[in-house]
Chains A and B, each alone.
Chain A
Amino acid sequence: MEILVVNLTRIGDLVQTTPVMAGLKEAYPGARITLLVNAVFAEICKDIPFIDRLVVFDKPAFRKMVRGEGETLVDSYRRLESFIDEVNDIAYDLAINFTPTGESAVLTSLFNARETRGVTAGAEGERIIKHPWQRYFMGVIPSRNFNPFHLCDMMVKAGGVLPSRKGLHLSVSEGERRNARAVLAEHGVGEGDLLVGFQLGASHPLKIWPVASFARLAVRLAESLGARVLLTGAKSEEALGAEFDSLAAGKGVNLIGKTDLRGVAALLERCALLVSNDTGPLHIATAVGTPSLDVSLGQVCFRETGPYGEGHYVIEADIPCGPCGFHVECTNPLCKEMITVGSVFEVARRILAEGAVDDIDDVPAWRGVRVYRSVFAEDGLLDYIPLIRRPMTRESFYTYLYRETWPHILDGSAGFPVERACEALEAKVAAWHGKGELERFLETIGDDLETVRKMEALAEEALARVSLIAREASKPAPDGDWIRRTWNNVPAIDLEIETLGRCHPPLKSPETLFGFGKEALEGKELAPMVKSALGLYGDRKAHFSALAGVIGRLLEKQVLARRGSCHT
């Protein structure tokens, strides 16, 4: 079996595609994987274990060409055409593209594959999203709140291949390891020395923890634990390194801009811990098995892009505006100050000293931050456990609730197991927030039940009409007028649900995915459109039913328990 994996994004995303590749190798024994990757990341692909053939896309060169620097339109066309031909040297059984850009969608549509998963372009050039999990990733994630899933899990789900070997995968070669040891030795770092990696840069200034904080952390790690600090990063981050050196003279081995990505992987493998902003090296460290502590700031939503693996840590500010919305240019990034050097140091110290941190007492020193540890749950998807036990927020409750409902809806499973979901929720809340916490919380959400039931009823009404239309549309000569008349009231119902969602943000997500799918329906032929519509309306109704079912049952159980306690 020949499989093409298209990955035209950044290094972090590339490393985060490795679970899908692992899953593909497991699901299709003997399959050969061709990876299409940006030229700048070609080298590190040697360390990705699942790749049988690498095709390199030199995007900057193409970009320069397209922008008319020296080439004619025909030249550009021919160059791209021959690149596509090169990719198509093999006839693929399956092509997978998770890069959500127009560029990769059109390119994917030009590759010869019997089946395509992820994102591609349709007959008229329209973007086609092939799997409900992919639609979830592209439609719901932009509204961010209440998302419980990691990007890697969304990809493995959308790829239809959940691997048994969990986590990210990079294998450091012996040669690179030797080089790393030699470089470190040159800087006076011996084999037995405690080495902590720092990644100072990130793709956006709001995601960067201040260099001064990193410098103070280095001083404390050195003074308390005798640790040496290793700085890695790209050439573009050299200024950050220089600032660090000026603030913590002699504390860091500054290799920023001096190593390639394979070298970085080997160096990070040697570290006992990486303290990092949310960026590529965080995932490289995770992939080579080095525990990481992700300082999650700005637009970063760690549940989506935090360290993907067991036993990694995240610290984030306990701030109502976080994570920032996309496109927000915050001018007062308080979150950077709220994550104090003391709190990061304390988490790092305990990881280094104790090997793992299971819980943190909620003493005033931790006020303003939240700390999590990553763990794979029973269903194979990643969870982040809060380490400081605090009262459950509404946001947390719905994140946990959606963690139960979305997989069911997106996997297309029949009959939502309300009882099992309630038990899972009860166990999770008790373990993560304390006994009695769910009961306390349920006192506050009676209104939500009423709203979600209203949404469920409306969704049912819309579904009933769409079902009738589907039945009529399947006839040899459907009655267009009748279909139009029946359809007439549906948009108003949709609008009513949307309005309820806007007024009750935690209940909005099903409607968001529905709206995203509905946009893609416009302009198609009747029969396939009705079929897709039926799926969309059905899923929305099923989801509201599941939410109403769980909330209703939890409240019912609470009432029953009270009555029981009265009798006793």
Chain B
Amino acid sequence: MDVDGHLAGLVADAGRGDDIEIVASKAGPPSLKAGGIALHSLYDPVREAREWVEHHREEIGNASGIVVLGFGLGYHVAELLRTTDNDVTVFEPRIDVLRAALEASDLSGLLARVRIVTRSEELAPGKTFRVLHHLPSIRLSPAPFANAASRLDVLRVVGKGLRIAVVGPIYGGSLPIAGYCAAALRNLGHEVEFIDNSGYADPYLSIDGVTKSKPHRDILRLKFEEFASEAAMARIVPFRPDLVLALAQAPLGERAIADLREQGIATVFWFVEDFRHMGYWRSVASRYDYFFTIQKGEFLDRLREVGARNVAFLPMAASAEIHRKMELSPEELRDFGSDVSFVGAGYYNRRKMFEGLVDLDFRIWGNEWQSCPALRGVLQRDGARVSTEESVKIFNAARININLHSSAYHEGVNPHGDFVNPRSFEIPGCGAFQLVDSRSHLGDFFEIGREVISFDSLGDLRDKVAHFLAHPEERAAVAERGRQRVLRDHTYERRMEAMIDFVVRKGFQPPWKARREKEDPVRLIGEAGPKTDLGRYLERFADARSLNLDDVVREIRSECGDLSRVERIFLALNEIGQ
């Protein structure tokens, strides 16, 4: 049987369902019973499929893409393919059902034309699509189908993509994350404007040198943040976003956020900070429509208490483009490599714990370690900051990367640590091996022991360092499994999808949706009449995402030669609008 590799792998791994039974129908072809439900007619499944297609004929005719919820043995899908040339995606969460289908008949012809998806997050049916339901399959497993239907609703709202402004901080840890978010949103097909505020870092930081008086410094910072907020708005407003995503410490003031909300623009904040360490969420949370956190439980309750409306957990991630496996040169391996390595700032708990590793081939990279004489021998480059690019090389070069979440008062591992830091995803993203301190959330992201190894104390850490240095093959296996997991579940693309999913499920409608529908080139060509002069002229824009007068004028100006009447009328319209 010739099926695509991914599906073959899934099916091969799946067990044979206990409640699944292939039965012969009265007419001859096999039917399927699962969980006591007949997924196809026990009399004539082929005729039933024909009737199913007939019933949906109108919807099939109007759609450019079709999603079928439920595969069963695929009779209805095969019949559907006889009546349409459009793209067909089938969602079937029951892998055991798929296996039974593959065993029951030769589906190779059918599988060559359809895309089969088993996880709702993989549903991506393209621009416009219709959903057809195979009701017996849905009755068999209602929950995943409900999830898929909800996902399709989200995709329908999002359409060809949203316009999203991503607002970064002036400086700090969330700055690169803002960039990763912007890139991921672009990869997902959204139009993105990155409001990069890092250009203000030097003047902002210079405030510290102006005065020693804290009240004065606070006033100056406030004034600066007001300026940066207005400057951000000056860039956001003309972009006409559907949604504004502000990363932690983004300089958007209260009034700016209120103005955006008033225009129906969704305001989203991703608080990629430890709420116990940074308390400004108390004043910020209620301003935004949607507030995402990297911590769960108690924090979510407290956010609701301060008036946050829509709160959701959105963990950190890695950037597949940045945090990648690299081939390093011998020089780079020499410069960045060691048995054991750590990249990060010298928080109290790290300084304390790492003193216990100085007898190893251990290198510490990063700043704020100067006050630590015991670590002088292992500190690299005199405690200079490490760029993202360098940290990726270090992760790739070290045999073992230590990841110890920061704490300002624990002596080593924080026994109550919950959230998982970016490094937890970035190191495996690089295909590198990490030993990470135990965190209560860690098991939600990785299979501990298989995809990641954790430690609880210095002693535990030293034992595991020794073990994994001695067993490079184990190290490599854990690292690779970790990498696969990150690529599948923990990229910024997945996070941004989850974010938009949440926002849309909470009822968000893009404010400029009507406008964008108005700018759909295919619709405009239809409106003009494809056989008119105007329709024929607009045909050249058929594949564009959207079409407005500026696009037409740009096209006209980019071409040489005599203008047609249609082009002249467009130029006149443009002049009138000036």
- Residues of chain A touching chain B, judged by Cβ–Cβ distance below 8 Å, are 59, 62-63, 66-68, 72-78, 80-81, 84, 101-103, 105-107, 109-110, 121, 123-125
Whether, in the assembled complex, B528 has its beta carbon less than 8 Å from a beta carbon of chain A, the answer is: yes
CA distance A109 to B527 in the complex (A): 26
Q: Is the interface of B mostly helix, strand, loop or mixed?
A: helix
Complex: how many Å from CA A260 to CA B569? 33
Nearest CB on B from A82, distance (A)? 11
Closest to B526 in A: A74
Chain B residues within an 8 Å CB radius of A110? 565, 568-569, 572
Partner of B562, one of A59, A81, A106, A124: A124
In whole angstroms, what is the CA distance A102 to B570 when docked? 13
Name the residue of chain B whose CB is nearest to the CB of A70: B518
**Which of A68, A74, A106, A124 has a CB less than 8 Å from the CB of B534?**
A74
Q: B368 an interface residue at 8 Å Cβ cutoff?
A: no
Residue of A68, A74, A109, A124 touching B561 (CB-CB under 8 A): A124
Residue of chain B at shortest CB distance from A64: B577
In contact, B569 and A125 (Cβ under 8 angstroms): no
Given contacts A102-B578, A125-B568, contact A76 B573 (CB under 8 A): yes
A103 and B563 contacting across the interface, CB-CB below 8 Å: no
Judge whether A74 and B576 touch: CB under 8 Å: no
Known: A66-B549, A72-B527, A77-B534. A121 touches B568 (CB 8 A): yes
**Contact between chains at A77 and B576 (CB < 8 Å):** no
Q: Sort A-B residue pairs by CB-CB distance and give the 5 closest, nearest first.
A: A66-B577, A103-B575, A106-B572, A123-B562, A74-B527
Shortest C-beta distance, A8 to chain B (Å), equals 10
In contact, B578 and A103 (Cβ under 8 angstroms): yes
B residues in contact with A76, CB < 8 Å: 549, 573
* Bound Cα distance A73, B574 (Å): 11
Closest to B525 in A: A74
Q: Could you show 8 A-B contacts with beta carbons less than 8 Å apart?
A: A63-B576, A66-B573, A72-B518, A74-B534, A84-B569, A103-B576, A121-B571, A125-B567
B498 interfacial contact with A, CB 8 Å: no
Point out the residues of chain A lying under 8 angstroms from B527, CB to CB.
Answer: 72, 74-75
| Count of inter-chain pairs, beta carbons less than 8 A | 80
Q: Is the CB of A80 within 8 A of B563?
A: no
Q: Give the distance in Å from the alpha carbon of A96 to the alpha carbon of B206 in the complex.
A: 63
Contacts of B567 in A (CB 8 A): 125
Contacts of A123 in B (CB 8 A): 562-563
Name the contact of A68 in the complex, choosing from B523, B548, B566, B570 (C-beta under 8 A).
B548
Produce 1/0 per residue, B491-510, CB < 8 A to A. Answer: 00000000000000000000
Residue in chain A with minimal CB distance to B561: A124
Please judge, given known A-B contacts A59-B576, A66-B574, A123-B562, whether A74 and B549 are in contact too, CB under 8 Å.
no
User: Smallest CB-CB separation from B560: which chain A residue?
Assistant: A124
Q: Which residue on A lies nearest to B556, using beta carbons?
A: A125
Most B Cβ at <10 Å: residue of A66, A68, A105 = A66
CA gap between A80 and B527 in the complex, in Å: 16
Minimum CB–CB distance for B56 against chain A, Å:
31
Check: B524 CB closer than 8 A to any chain A CB. yes
Q: In the complex, what distance in Å separates the CA atom of A291 from the CA atom of B518?
A: 55
Q: Do A73 and B568 touch across chains, with their CB atoms under 8 A apart?
A: no
Q: In the complex, what distance in Å separates the CA atom of A121 from the CA atom of B562?
A: 11
Complex Cα–Cα for A75 and B562 (A): 25
Given A73-B547, A124-B560, A124-B561, verify A68-B515 contact (CB < 8 Å): yes
Distance between Cα atoms of A102 and B577 in the complex (Å): 11
**Complex contact B569–A73 (CB within 8 A):** no
Q: Is the CB of B572 within 8 A of A103?
A: yes
| Contact A73/B563 with A66-B577, A103-B576, A106-B572 known, Cβ cut-off 8 Å | no
A349 nearest CB across to chain B (Å): 46
**Closest residue of B by beta carbon distance from A8:** B576
Binding site for A on B (CB under 8 A): 515, 518-519, 523-524, 527-528, 534, 538, 547-549, 552, 556, 560-563, 565-578
Q: Which residue of the partner chain A has the closest CB to B520?
A: A72
Determine chain A's interface SS by DSSP, over half rule.
helix
For A76, the closest partner residue in chain B by CB is B573
Q: A81 near B569 (CB under 8 angstroms)? A: yes
User: In the complex, A59→B573 CA distance in Å?
Assistant: 11
Chain A contacts for B518, CB-based, 8 A = 68, 72-73
The answer to whether A73 touches B572 (Cβ under 8 A) is no
A77 touches B568 (CB 8 A): no
Having A103-B572, A105-B575, A106-B572, one finds 14 other A-B pairs with CB under 8 Å, namely A59-B576, A62-B576, A63-B576, A66-B573, A66-B574, A68-B518, A72-B527, A73-B518, A75-B527, A80-B572, A80-B573, A123-B562, A124-B560, A124-B562
- Chain B residues whose CB sits within 8 angstroms of the CB of A59 once the complex forms: 576
Instruction: State A72–B520 Cα separation when bound (angstroms).
Output: 10
Bound together, the chains give a CA A455 to CA B570 distance in angstroms of 44
Q: Indicate which residue in B519, B562, B575 contacts A102 across the interface (CB closer than 8 Å).
A: B575
Tell me whether A109 and B549 are in contact (CB under 8 A). no
**Which of chain B's residues have a CB closer than 8 A to the CB of A68?**
515, 518, 548
What residue of chain A has the Cβ atom nearest to residue B571's Cβ? A106
Interface centre among A66, A72, A73, A84 (most CB of B within 10 A): A73
* Nearest chain A residue, comparing its CB with the CB of B514: A70
- Shortest Cβ gap from B521 to chain A (Å): 9
B523 to chain A, nearest CB (A): 8
A residues in contact with B575, CB < 8 Å:
101-103, 105-107
- What chain B residues lie within 8 Å of A74 (beta carbons)? 524, 527-528, 534, 538
A105 / chain B contacts, CB cutoff of 8 Å? 575
A101 CA to B572 CA in the complex, in Å? Answer: 11
Q: Which of A78, A101, A106 has the most CB of B within 10 A?
A: A106
Residues of A within 8 A of B549 (CB): 66, 73, 76
Rounded to whole Å, the gap between the CB of B364 and the closest CB of chain A is 57
- Complex Cα distance, B573 from A103, in Å, reads 8
**Structural contact, A106 and B568, CB atoms closer than 8 A:** yes
CA gap between A81 and B573 in the complex, in Å: 10
Separation of A393 and B567 alpha carbons in the complex (Å)? 51
In the complex, A109 Cα to B538 Cα: how many Å?
22
Report the separation of the CA atoms of residues A62 and B577 in the bound assembly, to the nearest whole angstrom.
Answer: 8
Known: A74-B534, A109-B568. A66 touches B561 (CB 8 A): no
A510, chain B: closest CB distance, angstroms:
31
Bound complex: CA A492 to CA B527 (Å): 55
Given A72-B527, A74-B534, A124-B560: A67 touches B577 (CB 8 Å cut-off): yes
- Cβ–Cβ < 8 Å partners of B574 in chain A: 66
Q: Is the CB of B563 within 8 A of A77?
A: no
Taking CB atoms, residues of chain A closer than 8 Å to B560 are: 124
Collect the chain B residues with CB atoms within 8 Å of residue A125's CB.
556, 563, 567-568, 571
Docked Cα-Cα span, A201 to B573, in Å, equals 31
Q: Which among B519, B573, B577 has the highest number of chain A CB atoms within 10 Å?
A: B573
CB distance from B564 to the nearest CB of A (A): 11
> Is B578 in contact with A73, judged by CB distance below 8 angstroms?
no
CB distance from B542 to the nearest CB of A (A): 14
Write the chain B residue with the least CB distance to A108: B572
- A77 and B562 in contact, given A62-B576, A66-B577 (Cβ under 8 angstroms): no
Alpha-carbon distance between A72 and B565 when the two chains are bound, in angstroms: 19
Q: Measured between alpha carbons, how far is A124 from B561 in the docked complex, in Å?
A: 6
* Complex Cα–Cα for A77 and B552 (A): 12
CA A75 – CA B569 in complex, angstroms?
A: 12
CB-CB < 8 A to A73: which residues of B? 518-519, 524, 547-549, 552
Cα(A84)–Cα(B561), bound, Å: 23
User: Which residues of A are found within 8 Å of B578, using beta-carbon distances?
Assistant: 102-103
Residues of A within 8 A of B547 (CB): 73
Q: Smallest CB–CB gap between B518 and chain A, Å?
A: 5
Tell me which residues across on chain B come within 8 A of A75, comparing CB atoms. Answer: 527
* Complex alpha-carbon distance, A484 and B524, angstroms: 49
User: How far is B573's CA from A63's CA once the two chains are assembled, in angstroms?
Assistant: 8
Complex: how many Å from CA A414 to CA B518? 60
Report the Cα distance A220→B84, complex, angstroms.
89
Tell me the nearest residue of chain A to B517, going by C-beta.
Answer: A72
What is the bound-complex CA distance between A81 and B534, given in angstroms?
11
For B572, the chain A residues whose CB sits under 8 A away are 80, 84, 103, 106-107, 110
Measured in the bound complex, the distance between the Cα atoms of B574 and A105 in whole Å is 12
List A contacts of B528 (CB < 8 A): 74, 77
